[in-house]
């Protein structure tokens, strides 16, 4: 009796999984019938562009900065006077 119940549960699970997959594929097919492919491609390209810009920002933000003593110490904070001959 217990093996028969397990077999029926197994068959019912396979039945539900098969029809769930068919329903999912049908829903995707209906979506692509009603939404133009160019619109989908545009949204996908914009999303990829945003992800790449975010990744570039993270990469640039995590770079270490040069220590001030390696570029001349405190010379960068001194005001620079520009005379008429340098213009």
**Is the whole model's pTM more than 0.75, yes or no?**
no
- At 22, the pLDDT band (50, 70, 90 cuts) reads very high
Considering the chain, what is the average pLDDT of its residues?
Answer: 79
Q: What phi and psi values does residue 79 have, to the nearest 5 degrees?
A: -70, 145
Q: Which position has the higher pLDDT, 69 or 20?
A: 20
- Helix spans in 35-66 (H): 37-62
Is 40 within 8 Å of 46 (Cβ atoms)?
Answer: no
Q: What phi and psi values does residue 35 have, to the nearest 5 degrees?
A: -110, 125
- At 86, the pLDDT band (50, 70, 90 cuts) reads low
Distances (CA, A) of 76 to 28, 68, 70, 81: 60, 8, 11, 13
């Amino acid at each position: 009796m217990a093996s028969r119940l397990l077999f029926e549960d197994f068959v019912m699970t396979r039945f539900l999984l098969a029809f769930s997959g068919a329903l999912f594929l049908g829903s995707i097919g209906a979506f692509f019938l009603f939404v133009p492919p160019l619109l989908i491609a545009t949204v996908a390209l914009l999303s990829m562009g945003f992800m790449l810009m975010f990744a570039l920002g993270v990469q640039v933000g995590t770079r270490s900065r040069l220590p001030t003593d390696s570029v001349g110490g405190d010379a960068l904070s001194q005001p620079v006077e520009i005379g008429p001959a340098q213009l």
